[in-house]
Amino acid sequence: MLKWAAIFFVIAIVAAIFGFGGIVDAAASVAKVLFFIFLILFVISLIFGRRSSL
């Protein structure tokens, strides 16, 4: 049981470092940019995919 407590303690420390260090903000901004890029590419592929089948 002490082994599991130590493992969860280490996981909590790593999560605190990522959460309090500002890495979350950087990752969220990168995720937003990638989301919009893939959304635009998806719409473009829908438009050109329908046009080529006509």
Residue recorded with tokens 């130590």: 6
pLDDT per residue as tens, the chain (54 positions): 788 888 888 888 888 877 777 777 778 888 899 999 999 999 888 888 876 555
Dihedral sign for Cα 24, 29, 30, 32, please.
positive
Distance CA 5, CA 49 (A): 54
Domain of 48 in residue numbering reads as 23-54
Distance CA 21, CA 3 (A): 27
| Domain contains 41 | yes
| Domain contains 52 | yes
| Domain contains 38 | yes
| Domain contains 17 | no
Distance CA 38, CA 4 (A): 40
Per-residue 3-state assignment (H helix, E strand, C coil) for 4-34 = HHHHHHHHHHHHHHHHHCCHHHHHHHHHHHH
